[in-house]
Structure 1
């Protein structure tokens, strides 16, 4: 029987909860807090295992002393060293398989110019002559004017093999000429449904493909990644997250091959992280997908892994503002009649959401622009009206721009806004691509996190990793300051949307657990109370006492999943 006592620091239970100083964990579950935790630990060390178990079950010091055998229970005592223990973080919207796979290709994420990207692709190709295709991600889409990248630039690095690079947004790819040729994309190729082939003045394809209708022209002919490569990617993603205090992730875009990878990992005992899968709903073939979703959920349930579920279906309502594919109520500044891309259309989205909801799935909708957010809210409202009341916890991810008339609808419909706090800053991407497309008035209404949270909605956070950093510390720092890493602007961009630190911590922990339905007796995590799973993160200092600019560098000393240490950081350093 494993027993651990945490003491010597702050035990943080949540923004609206009392703060404690000690915590006792037995067999992966929290059994006591504060003085009671100390008494039970002392009693357990002077009792037999049976007596200690009785103590844990009854929650009394008298029971802890009831053991009669000579052998004492061993208690691991962890000194928090004036640090901060809290529920582990969760990531309510991410793409761990994508993130893990990035290390299998050229490191273009680190490149600050087009020339650096080309040089890195050349280096990787020369070091890997066995690769038939060169695949990589995530290049910075703001490095070329308008986000338009030319195939001929990549041809300078590799001309005889296809090169396909995903942009940081994962809605765009940049190809060399050989990749376009193999995909049959030329001047005569029409733009596909739900996609755009950007072109030169003469009509020939430029090399940049936008949204998945166009992206799939290339990705559908690429050879599948080897199974072992994909398994390594999942393990790499888990290691990345655990080192940052994250124990649960919502994989927000899962296709059949991805499901197979997760099941293979579960079978081989290579899952290291709690993960829920959101099965991707495609408007072009949704009719045949729904039975497959039900079967996929059954396969995951039968796999029996306590770390894996498949309870969610993912919809895209639109694209992204940077591509001018995010759906807007009013047109983009670049064109009087360009409102972006509605992936489903209002009626089709409502019917598909209703069908998925009737099958018992949680709905998770990507909605960036205000028109897409309204469509998503309308679709959920339709499902509620048709299917009747139940605990459904629908999610709208991103909610970058929300019309004033829709701000209160999240709370009234029980919709969880899963927002990406790291994006709420005036960085280069915002200033180069986003603001010019929206105009200043709309740009200043982006990411209304505080407004929606104060309306009564349960605000949860996600990172969209690898689109952006998956480190909750990075997102929290922006959420509580609305400033860039350079501290700009001094008072914060749109400062009325700044969140209190405790609310931001909750949004990255307890509220993500709520999104994950992690509050039943046998699956509880995300909170510190007796009976809950001991998913915990130990930070070197109390983030509430730090200037926001210091939060990203706050050391994670350790992460526990169900009481088991999954990450231990460097030796402690003083943090003042």
Structure 2
């Protein structure tokens, strides 16, 4: 069945609009002559709605999001009493439970974030709360006991830290993965089928957001197998890229596994394991991102997780074996370290330029260096707003650095390929929410815009979720609605070109087309 769309705002991508668009029987965008040759023609009146290229999320964690959805949801709780009540009720309702996992808690929540606070509500089993930055855990005493963190000398960590009180006893806050894993590695594991169900739940959320392709930017042992199992049952509707997580302590031991699994994954037309994820630094909320000027709160400069020699060697090994490198770097010193290491590593695979994810604090010189090295920037536009997550970093960074975060317009002005993503479940998978903040630098009418000089146009925001995302993912031939491309498209319930902030905030995805098929039907 061929399709003819008209009567609305039709954006092809790369700044181009048309009055009508044709799709052939195979789900390929075509010209009018090809459409007219079809035996079955379907007319679609958009009635003033908007048709745009489908979205790609270049840095997300759908399996983690699905797993979190299987646990206790505490996202909407913003005070200690309500949090404690929810934990206690959940425990009492599940008497056979041996481990209580909940997500995500607001790091700006009032009250003492200590193990003793959680003990008041649940003390007989481990309680593990994931923070909204997903780089912090808040746990009770039982969790620390099970991990052996109260019975012996604390272990030496490659990065991150275990917060302690004046007596040197852990408070219940664990920062960054080396510390968090001391508890998380002991959590009861999902069965393979439980994980498949978690992934399928997450996929439906992505479809509702207008997403047709997603990169899972944190693949540990056992996670690629979930995608393979779902694919073997023909359950997946979207395309996925998988990025294996590089652990500085075990990278050389893990690399044969990356090679083995990538070969299996790459046999699927829906799946590709073509990237390796490196964590260069931490996050601003824990003052662990690497900065060139010290944090106001701790006078420290944050942390680098890799030595320069080790990172260059690891990046080179990845490049030599055909992997794209996908580097988490948030602070300006972290971004500089990542760029310098990229410049000294072996040449990258053709079509898979290096990626720096987050790049929250940058300078014009860093952007120029990124352009010189032909590096992709993977940004999360939803974070560029004055909400609790951003404002919780003020005490660490001060007003000037806080204001300069997420310089997206400057990045585009430096002629960099800037692709957007969500980092879900750190924040919402909603692409329209991300576009709203990119255009207005606000996620709510109740808060002032964050550095509005860095706002970008609607078209630039859509391109960052489509054509630029495809460039980052190595799909250079995709991401627009020009003739010859698959009809991967999204219908939005209104013409965003005519809407103000309130209109953007209430806009909805009505249809998500992949190769001509509406996945939301």
**TM-score (normalizing by structure 1):** 0.87
Residues 495-543 of structure 1, C-alpha deviations (whole Å, 9 max, x = no match): 22110111111111111111112234xxxx3211222122110011221
Q: What residue ranges of structure 1 are gaps of 5+ in the alignment?
A: 45-72, 569-576
Following the alignment from structure 1 to structure 2, what is the Cα–Cα distance between the partners of residues 460 and 388? 19
> Which residue in 2 is equivalent to 1:342?
304
Residue pair 2:288, 2:302 contacting (<8 A) in 1 also: yes
Following the alignment from structure 1 to structure 2, what is the Cα–Cα distance between the partners of residues 201 and 217? 22
> Which residue in 1 is equivalent to 2:375?
415
2:128 is the counterpart of 1:164: yes
Following the alignment from structure 1 to structure 2, what is the Cα–Cα distance between the partners of residues 43 and 312? 42
Post-superposition offset of 1:318: 0.5
2:151 is the counterpart of 1:152: no
Residue pair 1:83, 1:538 contacting (<8 A) in 2 also: yes
> Which residue in 2 is equivalent to 1:210?
175
Mapping for residues 277-296 of structure 1, pairs under 5 Å: 277-296=242-261
Residues 154-175 of structure 1, C-alpha deviations (whole Å, 9 max, x = no match): 2222211111121111111111
Residue pair 2:359, 2:377 contacting (<8 A) in 1 also: yes
Mapping for residues 68-147 of structure 1, pairs under 5 Å: 73-144=39-110
Post-superposition offset of 1:388: 7.0
Post-superposition offset of 1:120: 1.5
Q: 1:507 aligns with which of 457, 464, 476?
A: 464
Following the alignment from structure 1 to structure 2, what is the Cα–Cα distance between the partners of residues 313 and 552? 35
Following the alignment from structure 1 to structure 2, what is the Cα–Cα distance between the partners of residues 310 and 177? 39
> Which residue in 1 is equivalent to 2:279?
316
Of the structure 1 ranges 394-403 and 108-117, higher mean CA displacement relative to structure 2 is found in 108-117
Residue pair 1:92, 1:462 contacting (<8 A) in 2 also: yes
Q: What residue ranges of structure 2 are gaps of 5+ in the alignment?
A: none
> Which residue in 2 is equivalent to 1:197?
162
Following the alignment from structure 1 to structure 2, what is the Cα–Cα distance between the partners of residues 190 and 294? 31
Helix, strand or coil for the counterpart of 2:281? coil
> Which residue in 1 is equivalent to 2:418?
459
The 1:253/1:288 distance shift into structure 2, 3 A limit, reads same
> Which residue in 2 is equivalent to 1:516?
473
What is the root-mean-square deviation of aligned Cα atoms in Å?
1.8
Following the alignment from structure 1 to structure 2, what is the Cα–Cα distance between the partners of residues 176 and 226? 25
Following the alignment from structure 2 to structure 1, what is the Cα–Cα distance between the partners of residues 468 and 103? 30
Q: 2:149 aligns with which of 168, 176, 185?
A: 185
Residues 419-448 of structure 1, C-alpha deviations (whole Å, 9 max, x = no match): 1111111223322x2121111222222111
Mapping for residues 1-80 of structure 1, pairs under 5 Å: 2-32=1-31, 36=32, 39-44=33-38, 73-80=39-46
Following the alignment from structure 2 to structure 1, what is the Cα–Cα distance between the partners of residues 446 and 96? 45
Of the structure 1 ranges 192-201 and 17-26, higher mean CA displacement relative to structure 2 is found in 17-26
> Which residue in 2 is equivalent to 1:237?
202
Paired residues, what number? 520
Following the alignment from structure 1 to structure 2, what is the Cα–Cα distance between the partners of residues 465 and 177? 29
Residue pair 1:353, 1:363 contacting (<8 A) in 2 also: yes
The 1:389/1:88 distance shift into structure 2, 3 A limit, reads closer
> Which residue in 1 is equivalent to 2:361?
401
Residue pair 2:445, 2:501 contacting (<8 A) in 1 also: no
> Which residue in 2 is equivalent to 1:526?
479
Higher relative contact order (CA 8 A, sep 6+): 2
Following the alignment from structure 1 to structure 2, what is the Cα–Cα distance between the partners of residues 16 and 75? 28
Helix, strand or coil for the counterpart of 1:125? helix
Residue pair 1:473, 1:551 contacting (<8 A) in 2 also: yes
Residues 240-276 of structure 1, C-alpha deviations (whole Å, 9 max, x = no match): 1111111111111111111111111111112222110
Post-superposition offset of 1:484: 4.0
Residues 44-75 of structure 1, C-alpha deviations (whole Å, 9 max, x = no match): 2xxxxxxxxxxxxxxxxxxxxxxxxxxxx223
Post-superposition offset of 1:191: 4.5
Post-superposition offset of 1:358: 1.5
> Which residue in 2 is equivalent to 1:372?
334
Post-superposition offset of 1:449: 0.5
Helix, strand or coil for the counterpart of 2:174? strand
Mapping for residues 542-557 of structure 1, pairs under 5 Å: 542-557=495-510
Helix, strand or coil for the counterpart of 1:503? helix
Of the structure 1 ranges 75-84 and 555-564, higher mean CA displacement relative to structure 2 is found in 75-84
Residue pair 2:23, 2:487 contacting (<8 A) in 1 also: no
**TM-score (normalizing by structure 2):** 0.96
Following the alignment from structure 1 to structure 2, what is the Cα–Cα distance between the partners of residues 112 and 270? 37
Helix, strand or coil for the counterpart of 1:319? coil
Following the alignment from structure 1 to structure 2, what is the Cα–Cα distance between the partners of residues 30 and 268? 30
> Which residue in 1 is equivalent to 2:288?
325
2:447 is the counterpart of 1:488: yes
